[in-house]
Amino acid sequence: MAKADVMHIITNFTAHAGAETMLARLLHASVDQRIVVVSLMGISERNLKISSNPRVEYVSLEATKLTSLAHASLKLAKLIRQERPPVILCWMYHAMIVGTVAALLAHRSTAVIWNVRQSLDDWTSLTRSLRAAVTVAKWLSWHPEGFVFNSARALKMHAAAGYRTHNAVVIPNGFELPQSVTPQPRSAKRIGIAARFHPQKDYPTFFRAAARLLQTHQGLTFVAAGSGLSWSNPAVSRMILSAGLARENVQLLDEVDDMAAFYRSIDILALSSRTEGFPNVLAEAMSYALPVVTTDVGDAASIIGDGGLAVPSQDPEALAAALRTLLDGGTARYAEYAAAARRRIEEEYELGKIVRQYDHFLNQCKAAVERENNIAV
């Protein structure tokens, strides 16, 4: 068997979140390499469809419990010895830990690179398992040959938290630009949010902001897409009612497969997160010429440029005020924001440009390990 050119290790390739989507896009664009993708937990048809690359092989370790990670490390070490990848890219903390341990057990001269997708804006919003993984990864951070951070703030915060971020680079997420998108004057009526139902996404702030906005702007509809965002979820129903919203004010779509249709159905996108790295949803919405309002977490404010507004996190009044600014600017001002949003993604985050940055950095790290091995010999 020919050796793999690259091995990607990711915590859970069934998830429909930013890291998984970015990996799938990267795989789809990497047509001239033999690639092995290892998921600690599982692999979804959705991510396979986005990847759509016959040169990629997938391995699921089915490590769905913390207690199974040790066995997964042994299985992964065996796979590394078989595949002999010159470079391994580990996506997210649990994969960083398992991938690093497995590479050490495999006794292979491989460039292990960590891909950090999370900033540390709000430690309390992280689960106990994730907080533990962040801490353990810090202890192992001496080992990687290099680091990829998807936001400058994430790099700064991890360095401050004690990570040994030597040979680190910031590579943002990349996006395929939808065609037939023309920024136009519009009277905004539908405000959307797209994020799973999770404390990090801070839906209470979004719904409270929506209630405040309806006090001055009647006739608005708030559309929420994401896993768990359903009227059958009692926690969501209670949250909406306690915010002072009526059921007819809110559309809950749960998980959406056709995100293009979602973006085309709204006029403004909002993001109320307490912590992020590089929030994909902002750039995706902007690629559809949508103005955005976001909390200032991760690199969100840097991403949006002149295509929207950023406000402090956990502040419903500030979020409502920013949305009010967009609504009160009129159709001509709306078109200016929309054009700036689309232009920002075209100039800074086009997928081909980002893929080249990944290729360049991985080749650099691989060459560095090869030089070290030659010196040792």
What does the pLDDT look like over 43-92, one tens digit per residue?
999 889 989 999 999 999 988 887 888 899 999 999 999 999 999 999 99
Residue 248, number of CB atoms within 10 A of its CB: 7
Q: Are 304 and 344 in contact (CB under 8 A)?
A: yes
pLDDT of 197 higher than 90 = yes
Q: Are 280 and 173 in contact (CB under 8 A)?
A: yes
Alpha-carbon span 91 to 86, nearest angstrom: 17
> Hey, which bits of 137-233 come out as E strands?
146-149, 168-170, 190-194, 221-225
Token digits of residue 230:
């359903």
CA distance from start to end of the chain:
26
User: Residue 242, CB half-sphere, CA atoms under 13 Å: how many?
Assistant: 10
pLDDT digits (tens, 9 = 90+) for 83-124: 999 999 999 999 999 999 999 999 888 999 999 998 888 888
- Residue 329, SS3 per DSSP: coil
| pLDDT for the residue 376 | 55
Alpha-carbon span 150 to 279, nearest angstrom: 9
Per 3-state DSSP, the chain is made up of helix, strand and coil in percentages (nearest 5) of 50, 15, 35
- Residue 377: pLDDT band with limits 50, 70, 90: very low
pLDDT digits (tens, 9 = 90+) for 36-49: 999 999 999 988 99
Q: Are 22 and 10 in contact (CB under 8 A)?
A: no
| pLDDT for the residue 126 | 81
Contacts 24+ apart (CB under 8 A), 310-313: 313/121, 313/122, 313/202, 313/205, 313/272, 313/273, 313/274, 313/275
How much is the pTM?
A: 0.81
Give how far Cα 352 sits from Cα of 30, 106, 321, 346, Å. 10, 33, 36, 11
pLDDT digits (tens, 9 = 90+) for 281-318: 999 999 999 999 999 998 999 999 999 999 999 999 99
